[in-house]
Amino acid sequence: MKFNTEGTLLESLDVLMLGVEAAIALAGFAGIIATFQFAGAKETRRAEAVGLTMILQFSLLAALMCSIPLLLNSFGIAQTVVWAISSLLTAFIYIGSIYNQIRSARRAIRTLSGVRFLLMLLLPGLCITVINFMNTLNIFFHREPGPVIAGILWGLTVASLMFSRLLLRPVWRSVRTYEEAAKPSG
């Protein structure tokens, strides 16, 4: 598959359709798991709520970022204009997302490792914001689909990582509780 200006717009749009499907599936599965995990819980930790929020926001924003070029293409807009507009909107989506994640995670993070984890998630988003602005302004990138697709892939990566944490943290918490109870006293 080619993601440059010599490639056809159709090849990139096929990738975007897959992105929409993956994003919606991820958000749906996260909702199902969250419903079962938190159904009987009297208390939910802020970190778990932030993680679930990140799954839903990043997956649904990835679906939105996939949908924008598809929508613009349906109006018959030139390929370079489609990617310039999509890059601009992707950059603004990432700015809002980074701000929202910092704001919501501020009180949830209590350790240095938590700060490192959040930075690991958000610094690539900052880079994606910059390359999408560059793509919009025709600097280095020449209004190509690559920066937009990179933003979509990183959003889906973050959502997938947080999804795996949502799924596995209760399992590992249960394992630790069992191991603590099974330790011989003495």
Residues 62, 153: Cα–Cα separation, whole Å: 8
Instruction: Please report the pLDDT score of residue 4 as a whole number.
Output: 46
Whether residue 88 has pLDDT greater than 90: yes
Dihedral sign for Cα 46, 47, 51, 52, please.
Answer: negative
| Residue 18 counted as domain residue | yes
- Domain extent at residue 50: 9-171
| Residue 180 counted as domain residue | no
| Residue 60 counted as domain residue | yes
Whether residue 10 has pLDDT greater than 70: no
Token duo for residue 84: 């310039």
| Residue 151 counted as domain residue | yes
Q: What's at 24, amino acid-wise?
A: I
Q: What percent of the chain has pLDDT over 70?
A: 85
Query: Which is nearest to 50 in space by CA: 171, 158, 152?
Result: 158
The residue-averaged pLDDT of 146-154 equals 85
Confidence of residue 87 (pLDDT cuts 50, 70, 90): very high
How many domains are contained in the chain?
1
| Residue 93 counted as domain residue | yes
Whether residue 5 has pLDDT greater than 60: no
The residue-averaged pLDDT of 110-125 equals 82
A 10 A CB-CB count for 49 gives: 14
| Residue 186 counted as domain residue | no
| Residue 4 counted as domain residue | no
Arithmetic mean of pLDDT over the chain: 79
| Residue 2 counted as domain residue | no
Q: What pTM, to 2 d.p., does this model score?
A: 0.74
